[in-house]
Amino acid sequence: MRVLISVYDKTGLVDFLSSIGNYIDEIYGTEGTVKFLKDNNISANNSSQLTGFDDLLGGRVKTLHPAIFSGVLSKRDGESNEQLSKYGYKDFDMVICNLYPFVEASKSGDLQAMIENIDIGGLSLIRAAAKNYKNVAVLSHPDDYSMVKNALLKNREIDMKTRELLGLRAFSRSADYDIEIYNRLYRKLNGCQPEELFIHGYERSDLRYGENPDQEAYMFKINEKYGIPNGIQLNGKELSYNNILDANAALETVQDFDDITSVIVKHRTPSGISSADTLKEAFINSYNADPESAYGFVVALNRKLDLDTAREMQKKFIEVLIAPEYDRDALNLLKKKKNMRILKCSMEKDPEKAISSVSGGVLVQSRLDYRYGKLELKSSTETSKEKLKDLEFAWKVVAHTKSNAMVLAKNRTTVGIGAGQTSRIEALKIAIERGGSNVKGSVLASDAYLPFDDSVIECYKNGIDAIIQPGGSIRDEDVIKRCNEYKIPLYFTGKRVFLH
């Protein structure tokens, strides 16, 4: 077997070549690769022996020559063999090639470094070998080494299924490489979002079904760090499509809280949220905020799960549990509930744009940010420091609640949540009904401006102590006037936090 090697990432290469040495007759490589191999006692020939030239243009041109690409693309039929023989070219049975680290280079922000790390010859080699996968095995990443080694040791050859998989992997990596170059170079040159959207989804997970049993569903990763797709499942059944949507809503919500917080979600919107001095207290409070809804729920925590909190959870019907870390005893206790899906997820927020699909296209936007500039007191009466903390807490919650959304909170715990309504006053009435006798002394957060003073009247009737809202209605003065009449403190954020 004749092998052509041109790699930037040399991880595992020596061990791989040593393990399959009995199958290799001859190795050719680019200058840097050959030096590395010889330094590690592996015999190799410089590709310049085939091309007749050393690296050109500071290494920009190494393998771009018919002597190389004819040997990679040869069909191994009579006509191909005749042409290679005519010019004295050799064919190759394996190409080992990986690419310059463009993504890493782009992180520096240095345009010249980005340009110099755009691989040309390597990408061409990989594509050529992948095109000719029936005759040439293409290894485009160190991850491929073990698969090829196992195939050779088992079958004494690289079977066609392995060749097909290697070729598809090569095309996938080539496509992703080009996507990264376009996206990052465009942003560098223009300082804005690219005009065309390219998304690379990988590591497909087949889900049992979608939102309903007759719908096919899959999950793909689009990065290696953030969110539910990169979480580690420690226990339980496989996640369903709906589990993932709910888990994502819970995770994105809890990530906005610095205090110890528990978030309970049903149908992609919070049913109970609480911040407290201990995780156990936060969980109990978030559950008791709406125990009727909290059946078969998703819960996300922003602290390591301890044993005391786990004992409380053991009594509940939890579909999915999310936390950044788990105490060993707490995890072992909850693992007794075999159907409970337990995920370990990063609490680092995803900085990338949010993408939603619509028929015939996609929508892209920056992620919702609850933070506002300066909170502006609009009424003649101001609230206490404790109530102000509740207002800020309620504002974070309403930012993750489906619009129209109204959230009542007290003592850093939700009292009642009205979500997804076509009428804002109706959303408030639902929140009040859910809160019951606990509504008195709570505060209200609205995700958009109050269009009429009817919400203020409802607050007064039910003993709600303060209001936070974006402001910006043509009837703001009516709302302010009514708050002054009832001595209800009113604050404007100057920012809307709709969630559709």
Residues annotated as catalytic are 131, 267
Query: Could you tell me the CA-to-CA distances from 274 to 234, 287, 326 in Å, in that order?
Result: 25, 9, 20
The C-alpha atoms of residue 487 and residue 500 are separated, in whole angstroms, by 33
Strand partners, 264: 272, 299
The C-alpha atoms of residue 250 and residue 322 are separated, in whole angstroms, by 8
Q: 412 — alpha (psi -120 to 50), left (phi > 0) or beta?
A: left
The C-alpha atoms of residue 402 and residue 59 are separated, in whole angstroms, by 55
Q: Are 298 and 313 spatial neighbours (Cβ–Cβ below 8 Å)?
A: no
Residues 362-382: b if buried by 16+ CB within 10 A, e if exposed: eeeeeeeebebeeeeebbeee
Determine whether 300 is exposed, middle or buried from the number of CB atoms within 10 Å of its CB (0-12, 13-18, 19+): buried
Residue 37 CA from chain centroid, whole number: 38
